[in-house]
Copies of this chain bind each other. A is one copy, B any other.
Amino acid sequence: MAKKIIRSIALLTGGGDCPGLNAVIRAVTKTAINVYGLEVWGVEDGYLGLIENRLRQLHQQDVSSILTLGGTILGTSNTANPFSFAVHKKSGQVEFVDVSDRVLSTIREKNIDALICIGGDGTMATAAKLAKLGVTVIGVPKTIDNDLVGTDTTFGFDTAVTTAAEALDKIHTTASSHHRVMIVEVMGRYAGWIALHAGVASGSDVILIPEIPFHIDKVAEFIMDRARRGKRFSIITVAEGAKEKGGSLTVRQTIKHSPDPIRLGGIATRLSSILEEKTGHETRAVVLGHIQRGGTPTPYDRVLATNFGFHAITLLMEKNLKGHLVVINNGQLGSIPLAKIAGKVRVIPKNHPLIQAAIGVKTSFGI
């Protein structure tokens, strides 16, 4: 196959926020311009900008000083899927239509030769479909949850772990001074990577993750056993997706539009009230929520994001690849086909060395 000549690229960020997006944008833009003399277009608000033809050219000064900024200067959109785009009808109904032709038309109009998509599994699923339509696409994986298959890690994860661990550090002294059980809920709906790492980093006594369904009575017993040994406090790190074995502590529901809006407790809130009853220890819950997704990326994540951004352009310009995703495995940058990651979640294997080490330092997983 003759190598396609690339003169112009477009760049978009999709999905939830993640520290390091701007570092990728900077690395892609600078490398594309400095090394290959490409024209670089920034797409506004993810795929929505391709649908609505909202792009702006990026020059070096546009990405100057953004390395340490959280968020994305391009904006993003969680929901805009060009293959199933919500159109609001006059009737009030919402219809989902395929507007991928609008994306293709934008790409043609702006003479864009390749598209760099930075995002999570949703963004990559769309990228894979665009690749099938003939668009030259390179993906850059993004997830603070660290649960994308095909890559050992992604930028944003180290920052999320750091934010969670620093919150846990603050909680620690309060728990200890007040002889309390403190429960901190961190992100991780399907995989417990943040909980495991932040839990070990903060010396949590209990870590609850989706991969290891827990027995609530084992957790209570562990807390009471600590108390018997003179430790009148415990710290529990719980992933939002942690599940009780055979139990009901799993539902997270929001009844929003009732006159008096009520949120059924997330896992931390519900654990808190059950454990207080079972153990007799005063118990408090904190739900970290969105602070895990924002803020200045850690130096580790800035380096990783710069590597990813640079490598995306290398895959495109040197390796003549398309429809591939930048990955890092065993410390080596590489790539895999976009199609390979669709719909899968990378969970923690039960015999993961860090779980073994955590058990070694006497952490309970509620089993």
Contacts and interface: CB of A to CB of B under 8 A. Distances in A.
A346 interface: no
A360 B165 contact: no
16 contacts: A17-B174, A31-B360, A69-B173, A70-B173, A75-B178, A78-B178, A152-B331, A161-B299, A162-B300, A174-B293, A197-B299, A200-B306, A256-B276, A261-B270, A261-B273, A285-B289
Question: Counting chain B CB atoms within 10 Å of each CB, which of A69, A78, A299 scores highest?
Answer: A299
A359 B16 CA distance: 30
A65 B166 CA distance: 14
Given A162-B299, A265-B261, A274-B261, A17 B173 contact: yes
A35 B360 contact: yes
A69 B197 CA distance: 18
Contacts of A17: 173-174, 177-178
Contact of A31 (B60, B169, B361): B361
A77 B179 CA distance: 9
A322 interface: no
A78 B309 CA distance: 38
B31 A306 contact: no
A201 B261 contact: no
Nearest to A358: B306
Interface stretch (A1-9, A98-106, A217-225, A349-357): A349-357
Contacts of A203: 26, 65, 67-68
Contact of A294 (B30, B172, B313, B360): B172
Contact of A30 (B254, B276, B362): B362
A53 interface: no
Interface in A200-254: 200-203, 248, 254
Question: Counting chain B CB atoms within 10 Å of each CB, which of A45, A263, A354, A362 scores highest?
Answer: A263
For this chain, the copies found in one complex come to 4
A356 B354 CA distance: 32
A361 B27 contact: yes
Given A172-B294, A174-B71, A361-B27, A262 B265 contact: yes
Interface string A58-74: 00100001011111110
B170 A163 contact: yes
A158 interface: yes
A333 interface: yes
B302 A165 contact: yes
B34 A357 contact: no
A287 interface: yes
Question: 7 closest Cβ contacts across the A-B interface?
Answer: A71-B173, A330-B330, A70-B173, A170-B295, A71-B177, A201-B299, A170-B294
Contacts of A178: 16-17, 71, 75-78
A315 to B, nearest CB: 13
A286 to B, nearest CB: 4
A30 B314 CA distance: 45
A75 B231 CA distance: 12
A48 to B, nearest CB: 10
Given A34-B360, A170-B291, A300 B332 contact: no
A268 to B, nearest CB: 10
A34 B302 contact: no
Contacts of A357: 27, 31, 306-307, 309-311
